[in-house]
Structure 1
Amino acid sequence: MPSGEIQQRVQRHIDSLVGTGAETGVQVAVYRDGALVVDAVAGSADPAAGRALTSGTPVFSFSTGKNMATTIAHALVARGYLGYDTRVADLWPEFGEHGKAATTLRHVLTHTAGLPAMPREITPADLPDRSRVCAALAGAEPRWPPGTAVGYHAYTFGFLVGELARRATGRPMRELLREWVTAPLGIDGQLYFGAPAEALPGFARLEQPARDRPGGPADDDAILAPWERRPGAELGNDDEILRADIPSVGSATAHGLAAMFDALLRARLVDPAQLAQLSALAFEGTDRVFGTPARMALGFPLGRAGAPAEERSAAFGWPGGGGSYAYADPARGVAFALTKTRLRPDFDTALSVTAILADHLARDEERP
């Protein structure tokens, strides 16, 4: 267990958040240059059952799972199964309909494939049915020509990556994640696309204040359906969802995410040349879904969340609906992850912890 200054600062902070009722359960893990410097946990995994949260408790963390899916995509390239400019339809011929024939893995990774939203006939209940979802995506018309604009692919991203992986290797993402990431890194049981039924009693239970729950009528002008825009605790507490291979979202411990990113930074999953390529700016524009500026690397948003506007670092990583967040910073050798059990429509907790870490790193850099 880390015992340095940064461990103590983070532990005190998350203890305070849980103590004041702002959070119910929080995990934080940080690696720096291959060393675990923070492994902090506070609160409950299941308040109703009186079960404490530990650093080994998986938490369904919504789109933070995209960090795992993207890592598998880069491993597919590293192992020669795909290239970044491989056309999706070369492996998945029926996907080439309706102007999608030129779509490449690069377009999928940069969220420029033109399929940000699930076809309207797909509901959360359909997510465990890979064949149905993928057939709907193959028959969908893109909202823009692939590669010409960016827009967050909330749930479609993972199914596109996952179907490419399945067709390239003959295996589902859950198996690739275990064989290529968790087993060699010694973090089995900490990252999941579809968990075995016997593991589910050890998972955290999500909770969500009534005011933050998804609801309201569908907006015909919105690109994403309400369930795609705002996470609901009931989705992450559903055993069928937790058992399903849905690589747009995932269950993870903060330690598992940080260990994965640390391995990526230290060339254990890709070589240094590929790391430089995947963390470079690949597409920049205004996100068609949210209307906000987007700077995309290959599979990750670029820049540390909450960093000053003038900071244009090569840090990369996805947050997750409800407030989780993970990122890697190649320049500083830092891999960070935070997971939490209370879903909120902001990232205040994650930003408060990354601010503590940024202050600690800045002090370190000032020391002679």
Structure 2
Amino acid sequence: MVEISGTCTDQFAAVRTALTASLDDQDVGASVAVYVDGEPVADLWGGHIDEARTVPWERDTLTNTWSTTKTMTALCALVLADRGELDPDAPVARYWPEFAANGKDDVRVRHLLGHTAGLPTWDEPMTVEDLYDRPAATALLAAQAPAWKPGAEGGYHAVTYGHLVGEVVRRITGRSLGVFFAEEIAGPLGADFHIGLPAEHDHRVAPVIAPPERVPDPDAALPRDGVGNPHIPAATANTEAWRRAEIPAANGHGNARSVAAVQSVLACGGTVRGVRLLSEAGCERALEEQFLGTDRVLGVPMRWGLGYGLNGGQLPNPRTCFWGGWGGSMVLVDLDARMSVAYVMNRMLDQGALGDDRAFMILAAAYEGLSG
């Protein structure tokens, strides 16, 4: 049995049991955190940072969280909206004039946040290295036409999401998304989450352990709506260039504690641990439904809010939002229970777009604790 470190209240002992089971069965190294009323009731970690299981996962170990990063980017937009600096109903071109090109003059900020803007990928062939050139990558998005009528359909903006929302944030604040997040959210909360990882943290990073590469179908080089442009091998996350770049849709580095701590702000009406980042009404905006139906990129039923997936009836409380990262990480924010739950690991599984049973077992354990 793998040894688990950290703290957990008796009420949430099921979370410890779930993490232990996951590490004994499928995980190499992982961390789990549950915050209720802004305070940690479970802060646990265990396993190893390497596949050979020689180096232990420590309290301050970080790893790439893939699309769990999107919840941090969304929170930046919600903070600006709450301050009156960003209007989700405004045309994107109000803040980013070049974006109006090619029939996008009426694309709203909420379309970007709700994955309905019709820009799920780049039309031009892209490489991973092209993602690191923010001005060039965003200019291409500003110039291209939407793939569908904005607002009419939902389609997951897997990588473009971060460049689109990040550029709006940059135009308003004069700061990149990663810098704004560090200064206005992570810093005040003392959260160890980074969008663009400084070199001094490299020694704490657990490299991602990639799932087996799928053999590409030569007749489907670009799947529906261009998903897979650029193709990003999972091992890209272990390169220095990826860590240093700001990919606000996919390269946030953190652990469960930092993810749950940040998102606890949303769960608790905008104020936690003496820090106020949002009003209660500003938090509620995350729950504004932008799309309900079959996502044309993911190919599954989705309910999109402002930057988060919304409860479609699978979760106990209605005012709940969530999202996760490729390979398994996940965060859930329950505004009814004032609870945030995060799971971050280094071994990626390939069990579908919406997570796998490891995260779901952690969530079930958290709700078991909540119900007493």
Q: What is residue 236 of structure 2 aligned with on the other side?
A: 235
Please list, as runs of the form range in 1=range in 2, the aligned pairs for 1:59-70 lying within 5 A after superposition: 59-70=63-74
Q: What is residue 328 of structure 1 aligned with on the other side?
A: 333
Percent identity between matched residues is 34
Question: In the alignment, is the contact (CA less than 8 A) between 1:318 and 1:326 conserved in 2?
Answer: yes
1:342 to 344, 347, 352: 347
Q: What is residue 245 of structure 1 aligned with on the other side?
A: 246
Q: What is residue 308 of structure 2 aligned with on the other side?
A: 300
Question: In the alignment, is the contact (CA less than 8 A) between 1:30 and 1:335 conserved in 2?
Answer: yes
Q: Residues 226, 216 of structure 1: CA spacing in aligned structure 2 closer, same or farther, 3 A cutoff?
A: farther
Q: How far apart are 1:224 and its partner, in Å?
A: 3.5
Q: How far apart are 1:175 and its partner, in Å?
A: 1.1
Q: What is residue 130 of structure 2 aligned with on the other side?
A: 126
Please list, as runs of the form range in 1=range in 2, the aligned pairs for 1:167-178 lying within 5 A after superposition: 167-178=171-182
Task: Spell out, residue by residue over 1:93-145, the C-alpha distance to the aligned partner (whole angstroms, 9 max, x if none).
Answer: 22111111111111111111111122242221211110111111111110112
User: Can you give the 5+ residue segments of structure 2 that lack an aligned partner in the other structure?
Assistant: 1-5, 272-276
Q: How far apart are 1:7 and its partner, in Å?
A: 4.6
CA distance in 2, matches of 1:281, 1:336: 22
Structural RMSD (CA): 2.1
Q: How far apart are 1:291 and its partner, in Å?
A: 2.4
Q: Residues 283, 31 of structure 1: CA spacing in aligned structure 2 closer, same or farther, 3 A cutoff?
A: same
TM-score computed with the length of structure 1 as normaliser: 0.90
Please list, as runs of the form range in 1=range in 2, the aligned pairs for 1:1-368 lying within 5 A after superposition: 2-20=7-25, 22-47=26-51, 50-187=54-191, 190-210=192-212, 212=213, 215-217=216-218, 218-226=220-228, 232-249=233-250, 250-266=252-268, 267-268=270-271, 269-303=277-311, 307=314, 313-346=318-351, 347-362=356-371, 364=372
**Matched residue type, 1:262:** S
**Matched residue type, 1:357:** A
Count residues in correspondence: 355
Question: In the alignment, is the contact (CA less than 8 A) between 2:317 and 2:336 conserved in 1?
Answer: no
What secondary structure sits across from 1:278 in the alignment?
helix
Q: Residues 228, 284 of structure 1: CA spacing in aligned structure 2 closer, same or farther, 3 A cutoff?
A: farther
Q: How far apart are 1:345 and its partner, in Å?
A: 1.3
**Matched residue type, 1:238:** T
TM-score computed with the length of structure 2 as normaliser: 0.89
CA distance in 2, matches of 1:342, 1:224: 27
User: Can you give the 5+ residue segments of structure 1 that lack an aligned partner in the other structure?
Assistant: none
Runs ≥4 residues deviating over 4 A: 212-216
Q: Residues 256, 58 of structure 1: CA spacing in aligned structure 2 closer, same or farther, 3 A cutoff?
A: same
**Matched residue type, 2:171:** R
CA distance in 2, matches of 1:32, 1:225: 37
CA distance in 1, matches of 2:54, 2:214: 24
Q: Residues 286, 162 of structure 1: CA spacing in aligned structure 2 closer, same or farther, 3 A cutoff?
A: same
CA distance in 2, matches of 1:107, 1:90: 14
